[in-house]
């Protein structure tokens, strides 16, 4: 038996390593495109010269003050949303779950609306903290609702609780915007989802949350594998189901809160990337999570670059382009029956 399965195992590992190397190459290429392509194209050699030696030319200022922060935020937000979506699909065992299922995105929206309308905050670096607080409170509320009653926080109760909290928070957001019309235009800029117009200060504010959330999600990779087999099987394998769900849920909340706070509620990355990652490397979360962390930024950065060039000199926000680019990938996976049930 060992001799029969060993070549298969080696082939699987080799395939996973090959796809991981390809994903790393795609990520590096997407970073290069993000730094070079835009309203003004800058040659890769010039970009490398600016990064390595600095300079005070117009191109150096564009790269240093605009494109480097934009690219870093795209990287961080792509990782955050992809890992959060993978974790949420794992703990809910729901293939259409994404970071909005626990009301995280809408909670962040309420935080931003309240910051603009009542706290007088008009800078993106100020929004971050309110968005993150709103996302965290929404997640706590959803889990509290789902955990009450018999059976605890089951996948169905989590989904229903998330839908209820989403509806409530959407109503709160609309109520504030209709009574505080001056906040509407400023909120639209954030709500559309974009990595443009962000500065390096935002990077410094969200990276600790990104690191903490990533560590929490990766720490329960084996637990997510067991949970995919069902709660009874997971318990039989020695996993504490409640601990796995809480740890992964907290990690996903931190990741989504940080990502949404920085770039707005960018859709589809958290939904599509986990499926793409599983189609490439299989269902083992020890491989799926790293592949999602590589693939998420590629989707977001490529979407952002595409948005810069489709209607020049105007830009289409990354939040719009992620759906336009990501939908065909997911449709192709569904048609090939590559998306796990």
- Per-residue pLDDT tens digits for 85-105: 999 999 888 787 788 777 888
Q: With cut-offs at 50, 70 and 90, classify the pLDDT of residue 106.
A: confident
The answer to whether 79 touches 214, Cβ cutoff 8 Å, is yes
Residue with tokens 């491989």: 287
Find the mean pLDDT for residues 19-45.
Answer: 92
Find the mean pLDDT for residues 30-53.
Answer: 88
Return d(Cα 257, Cα 139) in angstroms, integer.
Answer: 10
Eight-state DSSP code of residue 264:
-
The answer to whether 81 touches 296, Cβ cutoff 8 Å, is yes
pLDDT (tens digit per residue) in 291-306: 999 999 999 999 999 9
Mean pLDDT of the chain: 85
Return d(Cα 271, Cα 81) in angstroms, integer.
Answer: 9
The answer to whether 101 touches 94, Cβ cutoff 8 Å, is yes
The answer to whether 73 touches 228, Cβ cutoff 8 Å, is no
Would the pLDDT of 56 be above 80? Answer: no
The answer to whether 212 touches 150, Cβ cutoff 8 Å, is no
Tell me the H-state helices in 180-240.
184-191, 200-219, 221-227, 231-236
What does each C-alpha distance from 99 to 17, 84, 88, 159, 335 come to in angstroms? 28, 6, 7, 11, 24
pLDDT (tens digit per residue) in 201-234: 888 888 898 999 999 999 999 999 998 888 788 8
Delineate the domains of the chain, giving CATH numbers in brackets.
2-335 (1.10.3470.10)
Would the pLDDT of 4 be above 60? Answer: no
Return d(Cα 202, Cα 104) in angstroms, integer.
Answer: 19
The answer to whether 317 touches 192, Cβ cutoff 8 Å, is yes
pLDDT (tens digit per residue) in 235-271: 888 888 888 988 998 899 889 888 888 888 888 899 8
Is the model's pTM score more than 0.75? yes
Return d(Cα 221, Cα 219) in angstroms, integer.
Answer: 6
Q: What is the pLDDT of residue 333?
A: 63
Would the pLDDT of 341 be above 70? Answer: no
Cis-peptide, bond into residue 42, ω within 30° of zero: no
Q: What is the pLDDT of residue 80?
A: 95
């Amino acid at each position: 038996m060992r001799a029969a399965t060993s070549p298969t195992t080696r082939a699987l590992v080799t395939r996973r390593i090959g796809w991981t190397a390809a994903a790393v190459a795609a990520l590096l290429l997407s970073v290069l495109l993000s730094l070079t392509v835009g309203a003004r194209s800058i040659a890769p050699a010039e970009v490398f010269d600016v990064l390595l030696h600095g300079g005070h030319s117009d191109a150096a200022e564009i790269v240093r003050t605009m494109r480097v922060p934009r690219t870093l935020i795209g990287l961080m937000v792509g990782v955050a949303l992809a890992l959060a979506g993978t974790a949420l699909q794992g703990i809910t065992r729901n293939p259409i779950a994404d970071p909005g299922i626990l009301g995280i995105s809408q909670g962040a929206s309420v935080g931003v609306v309240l910051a603009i309308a009542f706290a007088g905050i008009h800078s993106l670096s100020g929004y971050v903290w309110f968005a993150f607080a709103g996302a965290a409170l929404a997640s706590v509320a959803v889990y509290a609702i789902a955990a009450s009653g018999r059976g605890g926080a089951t996948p169905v109760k989590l989904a229903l609780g998330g839908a209820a909290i989403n509806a409530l928070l959407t109503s709160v957001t609309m109520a504030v915007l209709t009574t505080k019309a001056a906040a509407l235009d400023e909120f639209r800029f954030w709500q559309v989802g974009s990595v443009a117009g962000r500065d390096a200060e935002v990077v410094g504010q969200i990276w600790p949350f990104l690191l903490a959330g990533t560590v929490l999600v990766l720490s329960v990779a084996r637990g997510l594998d067991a949970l995919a087999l069902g709660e009874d099987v997971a318990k039989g394998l020695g996993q504490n189901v409640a601990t796995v769900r809480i740890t992964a849920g907290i990690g996903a909340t931190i990741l989504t809160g940080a990502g949404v706070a920085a770039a707005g509620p960018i859709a589809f990355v958290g939904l599509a990337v986990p499926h793409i990652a599983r189609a490439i490397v299989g269902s083992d979360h020890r491989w799926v999570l790293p592949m999602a962390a590589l693939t998420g930024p590629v989707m977001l950065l490529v979407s952002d670059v595409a948005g810069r060039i489709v209607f020049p000199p105007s830009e289409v926000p990354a939040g719009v382009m992620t759906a336009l680019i990501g939908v065909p990938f997911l449709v192709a996976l569904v048609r090939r029956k590559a998306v796990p049930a």
